[in-house]
């Protein structure tokens, strides 16, 4: 009985997956080398990118896999709700802010998902430039990030869903990618 007090509880799959996403999205290389704005909004964008890559990878998989992916997304929104409240936003305003966050996710998923599925580098670069880099005219920052996003998607597609659910996500190491070259997708 006393040993149960000291035993480690295993985190649910969705919490571990969400933790992996957040850890990857917080890598300093994104904010230094890839020039993602190191702001609350920039970090939010990086989490969204990784969520969308994971969710897109899980499309067409088993109900269990899709359910876990949905739990990751639900957990993300619960964390956002909690963060907004901790920042002192009033109860009346929270639903409006959450609606905007939901719309942001849906908009990015609608832009990034089809680009990933089609291997359309131009479409992904434009979407990243608009959302992450706030509409910059040149693609000098968005193109290397698109290379990373395609690399992450390809890496997740290359492993069985069971590995992902077992928290063996093969995120690429961003610094190992050739960020100086643009995107080359088929």
Locate the domains of the chain by residue range.
11-166
pLDDT at 11: 77
pLDDT at 71: 94
Q: Could you report the per-residue pLDDT of 97-132, keeping only the tens digit for each?
A: 899 999 999 999 999 999 999 999 999 999 999 999
pLDDT at 183: 41
Q: How far apart are CA 182 and CA 96, in angstroms?
A: 37
Q: How far apart are CA 135 and CA 121, in angstroms?
A: 16
DSSP letters of 2-63?
A: THHHHSPPPPPHHHHHHHHHHHHHT-HHHHHTS----SHHHHHHHHHHHHHHHHHHHTTS-H
Quick one: tokens of 35? 């020039």
Q: pLDDT below 50 — which residues of the chain?
A: 1, 179-186
pLDDT at 94: 86
pLDDT at 139: 75
Residue 140, Cβ neighbours under 10 Å: how many? Answer: 13
Residue 33, Cβ neighbours under 10 Å: how many? Answer: 18
Q: How far apart are CA 142 and CA 140, in angstroms?
A: 6
Q: How far apart are CA 82 and CA 148, in angstroms?
A: 30
pLDDT at 179: 44
């Amino acid at each position: 009985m006393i040993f149960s007090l000291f035993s480690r509880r295993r985190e649910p799959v969705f919490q571990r997956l969400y933790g992996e996403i957040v850890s990857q999205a917080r890598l300093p290389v994104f904010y230094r080398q890839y020039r993602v704005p190191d702001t609350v909004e920039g970090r939010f964008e990086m989490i969204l990118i990784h969520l969308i890559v994971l969710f897109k990878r899980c499309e067409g998989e088993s109900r269990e896999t899709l359910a876990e992916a949905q739990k990751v997304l639900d957990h993300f929104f619960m964390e956002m709700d909690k963060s907004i409240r901790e920042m002192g936003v009033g109860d009346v305003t929270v639903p409006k802010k959450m609606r905007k966050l939901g719309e942001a996710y849906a908009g990015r998923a609608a832009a990034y998902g089809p680009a990933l599925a089609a291997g359309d580098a131009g479409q992904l670069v434009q979407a990243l430039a608009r959302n992450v880099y706030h509409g910059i005219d040149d693609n000098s920052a968005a193109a290397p990030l698109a290379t990373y996003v395609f690399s992450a998607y390809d890496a997740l597609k290359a492993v069985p869903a069971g590995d992902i659910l077992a928290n063996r996500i093969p995120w690429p190491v961003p610094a190992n990618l050739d960020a100086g070259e643009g995107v080359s997708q088929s």
